[in-house]
Amino acid sequence: MKVAIKIRACSQTGFTLVELVIVGALIALLAAIAIPNYLQSRSAAQKSACINNLRQIDAAIQQWAIEQRMPSDATVDSTDIAPYLKRLVICPAGGTTFADSYSISTVSTAPACQRLPLTHVLPASSVDAARSQAQTPPLPGQTRRSSTNRRHLDRLRQSRRVNWARVS
Ligand SMILES: [Zn+2]
């Protein structure tokens, strides 16, 4: 009888310090695993949304150039392409307006992100595709080599190098 009373009195005191420390350590461990993953996935989502915006801006520039019959070195402004963009495009990594998110210069220059210009970059292959779709005639001095063409040339060069190695 005495023992039972003693146990009940003991269990009513709540958690011991060791239990609290263990629970706290587990929560800290889970947070240490989850937070970097969360930040990484958030920045990846922002990057893909921004690149999608860049693609839309590039398409708008090409459409404007075709409809207004502009040469590839013509300067383009955000007001020129505004009618061709369905909605306001801003960089999800802290952009508030078009002007502080993206920079555009000429028809032949790909639009660039101003918030994170090193990671939010339009892939070269999609730029080439947009340019060939737009069919803007290149200026006499300009020659554009598509990335697939370049890749093919690299492969040719590599195969030649292999053959030379075999001969010698
Ligand atoms: Zn961006």
Q: What is the pLDDT of residues 139-157, one digit of tens each?
A: 454 444 445 545 554 555 5
Q: Is the pTM of this model over 0.75?
A: no
Tell me the per-residue pLDDT of 4-21, one tens digit each, with 9 for 90 and over: 555 555 556 788 999 999
Residues, beta carbon < 5 Å, ion ligand 1: 50, 91, 113, 115, 120
Cα 3 to ligand 1 centroid, rounded to whole Å: 69
CA of 58 to the centre of ligand 1 (A): 14
**79-107 pLDDT tens trace:** 999 999 988 899 999 999 999 999 999 99
Q: What is the pLDDT of residues 23-59, one digit of tens each?
A: 999 999 999 999 999 999 999 999 999 999 999 999 9
CA of 18 to the centre of ligand 1 (A): 47
3-state secondary structure the chain: CHHHHHHHHHHCCCCCHHHHHHHHHHHHHHHHHHHHHHHHHHHHHHHHHHHHHHHHHHHHHHHHHHHCCCCCCCECCHHHHHHHCCCCCCCCCCCCCHHHHEECCECCCCCEECCCCCCCCCCHHHHHHHHHHHCCCCCCCCCCCCHHHHHHHHHHHHHHHHHHHHHC
Q: Is the pLDDT of residue 162 over 50?
A: no
